[in-house]
Amino acid sequence: MVLLKLKFPFQKRVRLAQGLWLLSWVAMFSGAITFAMGVFLKTELYRRSEVMHNMDIHIVPNLLMAVGLASVGINICAGKVCHDSLDLSRFPRWKTFLPPFFCISVFFSSLLLVAMILSFALQASLEESLKIGLKNGIRFYKDTDTPGRCFQKETIDRLQIEFQCCGNTNYRDWFEVQWISNRYLDFTSKEVKDRVRSNVDGRYLLDGVPFSCCNPASPRPCIQNSLLDNSAHYNYEYQTEELNLYSRGCRQALVSYYMGLMNTIGPCVLLFFLLQMSILVSLRYLQTAMEGVLGQENMEIETEGYILEKGVKETLLETKEKMMKLFQLAQVGDASDATPGTEPEAEKPATA
Amino acid sequence: MAVLPVRFTKTKRDKLAQVLWVLNWISIVTGIILFSLGIFLKVEINKRQDLMVERNLQSVPNMLIAVGLIACAINFLGGKICYDCVDTNKFLRWKLVMLPYIICTFFFTLSVLVGALMCYSMLGQLEESLTLGLRDAMRYYKDTDTPGRCFLKRTVDLLQIQFQCCGNKGYRDWFHIQWVSNRYLDMSQREVVDRLRSNVEGKYLMDGVPFSCCNVNSPRPCIQYQITNNSAHFNYDYQTEELNLWMRGCRQALLDYYTNIMHSIGLTVLIIWLFELSVLTGVRYLQTSLENVLRQGDPECESDGWLLENSFVETARTNFNIIKHLGKFNQINTASNGDPNIDRPSTAHYGPDNVPPKPSPTSS
């Protein structure tokens, strides 16, 4: 029972080959674009890798890059096959090459779908990774003299300015961390000593934020210190004040930025997947139609093209049997290598 | 005595025409590049409109845009002409157009050169415009409630953050102006009243800067207020402290930025000018060699191509005479009182001697 049979007269075959050749060039460029999109996404993730705890999300751009490169190769081959299908003398050399080629191509195209699904599925993992990374960044903000952590201050400041955000969830995260280094605290002053004594761990905590949280759109000069003390500033009420600092948390800002990137890349990847699958299906039809022509003297006869010669179940059984045979052959080969003496012995009693 | 004559065989002429056709299409691309450079410059100037006092800065990008568009049109026509020049019959179509086309293109390349030179001359005007504009922007920093100036605070803050600069020439510029609005000053406090009274104009001046002057690379949290007071902060010496605030002035930062842009654009336009000039020279050689072919009558023969038929001086003299005669043609000859027949030489033929006969005697 042939799967999805179609009749192909000579003209239709020629047109199919030509159209497919053109389409394979388009798909080659789309593959290059997919690769470029993967590279872009990877660089964007790398730029903020200091505030990310793990690199799980990097699998999405890695898949995109791999599939992009593979599809460039696949589509070049497809173009060559189409070019040769118009010339009967050159087509037969592709005969053994095409079945594994189809398997590999289908595998790589399905990787595209996997990448798309992963980009949605890994959102929670990205958020968790950012949560831990930002928490560490804010904790080590003051350690500008510790090697390995000395750039955290600059990283966090630049991040807050560029993404217009403050803290992990919001600005209050800064109240729970000592972000001023002890090097710049005057321990002889009473105020400092009181603050350090007032909490269990002996940390200098205050209701203030770094300057990078300041919102330039605020009509008044930035209020960074004594944020919860209304009387410390003239005409100020922290419960209603919205423009003074950035109200968004950096975790949410980064997650929406990356989700935005992936949501833009997603439809393009889907389009490319559909294009690639249609090319593979058409190529399969062309291959089977051309196989009907091989061995005949007249090239211009009408042939049939199909996707699978037998039904899906039967094809699967056949491939399984083939694989078993290959496996057995390999085993027998091993057995005969291991015991070379048994054969001549078997021959001896026969001659005796 | 022709200027720079070159001998052209038929194949050489054809090759020249083909090469010029390709070069004209490349020139269309360079015309598009000029156009986009003009648009880019216009956008860059408009982005910082608030910080510049109005001067004639828009003329340079407008000129680049116009020149780019005209270049596309001229080179498209040039491409068509060169494509047709391979065939002598088709050349006859363009014969009369070619010389005016070459003259127009020559003046056009002059305008490209002028555009390139304007790019470099713009910088002087830009510096003046920026100095005044930044001074005003800083003065109106606090006026976030005045319509027309309410966005200056945001503009200046974003400028200082993006260009990593502070104030006009340095951070001390902020000490001379009141950048905290009176709306946020508690007039009942003694300290505020003292400060206001301590200077002539009643301005609230302090040795502090806005948060946007803070340097991101500083190892310590930013010190914005009481900058010149060493005792107000622990372990702080403002004379040796370099990383706390941005040290560069915004005028210098913006000027460096625009200088880079203008130099790159100027260089690109100069290169495009040289390219256009070479294409024009090629078209002139093609035109003169094809005209000489027509003069000699044989399409397959060799011909000379040149830039000018006679030397520079003679060509200038001839053109000058043409212009003078054009002027004379309009003048009326007033000496003969408008009668066109006086002083005209007789055209009658009086026999082999050409002696007019004596008048016959009349009887009185």
Tell me if A235 and B214 make a contact (CB, 8 A cut-off).
Answer: no
Say how far apart CA B22 and CA B82 lie, in whole Å: 9
Per-residue pLDDT for A275 more than 80?
yes
Contacts with B185 from chain A: Cβ below 8 Å:
234
| The 3-state secondary structure of chain A, one letter per residue | CCECCEEECHHHHHHHHHHHHHHHHHHHHHHHHHHHHHHHHHHHHHHCHHHCCCCHHHHHHHHHHHHHHHHHHHHHHHHHHHHHHCCCCCHHHHCCCHHHHHHHHHHHHHHHHHHHHHHHHCHHHHHHHHHHHHHHHHHCCCCCCCCCCCCHHHHHHHHHHHHCCCCCCCHHHHHHCCCCCHHHCCCCCHHHHHHHHCCCCCCCCCCCCCHHHECCCCCCCCCCCCCCCHHHCCCCCCCCCCCCECCCCHHHHHHHHHHHHHHHHHHHHHHHHHHHHHHHHHHHHHHHHHHHHCCCCCCCCCEEECCECCCHHHHHHHHHHHHHHHHHHHHHHHHHHHCCCHHHHHHHHHHC
> Nearest residue of B to residue A149 by CA position?
B219
Angstroms from A219 CA to nearest CA on chain B: 5
Q: What is the pLDDT of residues B237-274, one digit of tens each?
A: 989 988 999 999 999 999 999 999 999 999 999 999 99
Angstroms from A40 CA to nearest CA on chain B: 23
Contacts with B213 from chain A: Cβ below 8 Å:
none
- Percent of chain A past pLDDT 90, that is, above it, reads 60
Tell me if A219 and B153 make a contact (CB, 8 A cut-off).
Answer: yes
At B12, list the tokens: 């050489």
Predicted confidence at residue B353, as pLDDT, reads: 60
The reply to whether B80 touches chain A by the CB within 8 Å rule is: no
Select from B211, B217, B221 the Cβ nearest to the Cβ of A214: B211
Per-residue pLDDT for A35 more than 90?
yes
Tell me if A222 and B211 make a contact (CB, 8 A cut-off).
Answer: yes
Tell me if B216 and A157 make a contact (CB, 8 A cut-off).
Answer: yes
Tell me if B180 and A158 make a contact (CB, 8 A cut-off).
Answer: no
Most A CBs within 10 A among B211, B213, B222, B244, hence the mutation to make, goes to B211
- Percent of chain B past pLDDT 70, that is, above it, reads 90
Tell me if A234 and B185 make a contact (CB, 8 A cut-off).
Answer: yes
Domain of A99, in residue numbers: 3-136+254-306
pTM attached to this predicted model: 0.80
Chain A residues with CB within 8 Å of chain B CB: 144-145, 150, 153-154, 157-158, 161, 179-181, 183-186, 210-212, 214, 216-217, 219-222, 224, 233-235
Residue A249 lies in a domain: no
Tell me if A210 and B221 make a contact (CB, 8 A cut-off).
Answer: yes
Residue A26 lies in a domain: yes
Predicted confidence at residue B310, as pLDDT, reads: 78
Predicted confidence at residue B351, as pLDDT, reads: 55
Residue A76 lies in a domain: yes
Predicted confidence at residue A30, as pLDDT, reads: 95
Asked whether A67 and A115 are in contact (CB, 8 A), the reply is yes
Size of interface A-B (CB pairs under 8 A): 68
Q: pLDDT category, B343, cuts 50, 70, 90?
A: low
Q: pLDDT category, B324, cuts 50, 70, 90?
A: confident
The reply to whether B181 touches chain A by the CB within 8 Å rule is: yes
Tell me if A221 and B235 make a contact (CB, 8 A cut-off).
Answer: no
Predicted confidence at residue B64, as pLDDT, reads: 93
Per-residue pLDDT for B363 more than 60?
no
Contacts with A150 from chain B: Cβ below 8 Å:
219
> Nearest residue of B to residue A161 by CA position?
B161
Most A CBs within 10 A among B184, B230, B244, B245, hence the mutation to make, goes to B184
Bridge partners of A214, per DSSP, are: A245
The reply to whether B212 touches chain A by the CB within 8 Å rule is: yes
Q: pLDDT category, A331, cuts 50, 70, 90?
A: confident
At A9, list the tokens: 């007269």
Average of per-residue pLDDT across B12-19: 89
Per-residue pLDDT for A111 more than 70?
yes
Name the burial class of residue A56, with classes exposed (0-12), middle (13-18) and buried (19+) by CB atoms within 10 angstroms of its CB.
Answer: middle
The reply to whether B138 touches chain A by the CB within 8 Å rule is: no
Tell me if B158 and A216 make a contact (CB, 8 A cut-off).
Answer: yes
Residue at B279: amino acid letter: V
Tell me if A211 and B219 make a contact (CB, 8 A cut-off).
Answer: no
Contacts with B224 from chain A: Cβ below 8 Å:
211
Q: What is the pLDDT of residues A180-229, one digit of tens each?
A: 999 999 999 999 999 999 888 889 999 999 999 999 999 999 999 999 99
More confident residue, B213 or A7: B213
Nearest to A173 by CA among A144, A232, A130: A130
The reply to whether B226 touches chain A by the CB within 8 Å rule is: no
Mean pLDDT score of chain A: 88
Select from A144, A161, A210 the Cβ nearest to the Cβ of B161: A161
More confident residue, A98 or B157: B157
> Nearest residue of B to residue A216 by CA position?
B154
Strands B6-8 and B303-305: antiparallel
Residue A11 lies in a domain: yes
Q: pLDDT category, B337, cuts 50, 70, 90?
A: low
Q: What is the pLDDT of residues B56-113, one digit of tens each?
A: 888 999 999 999 999 999 999 999 888 888 777 788 888 888 888 999 999 999 999 9
What is the domain count for chain A?
1
Q: ipTM strictly over 0.90?
A: no
Residue A221 lies in a domain: no
Tell me if A184 and B145 make a contact (CB, 8 A cut-off).
Answer: no
Contacts with A212 from chain B: Cβ below 8 Å:
214, 216
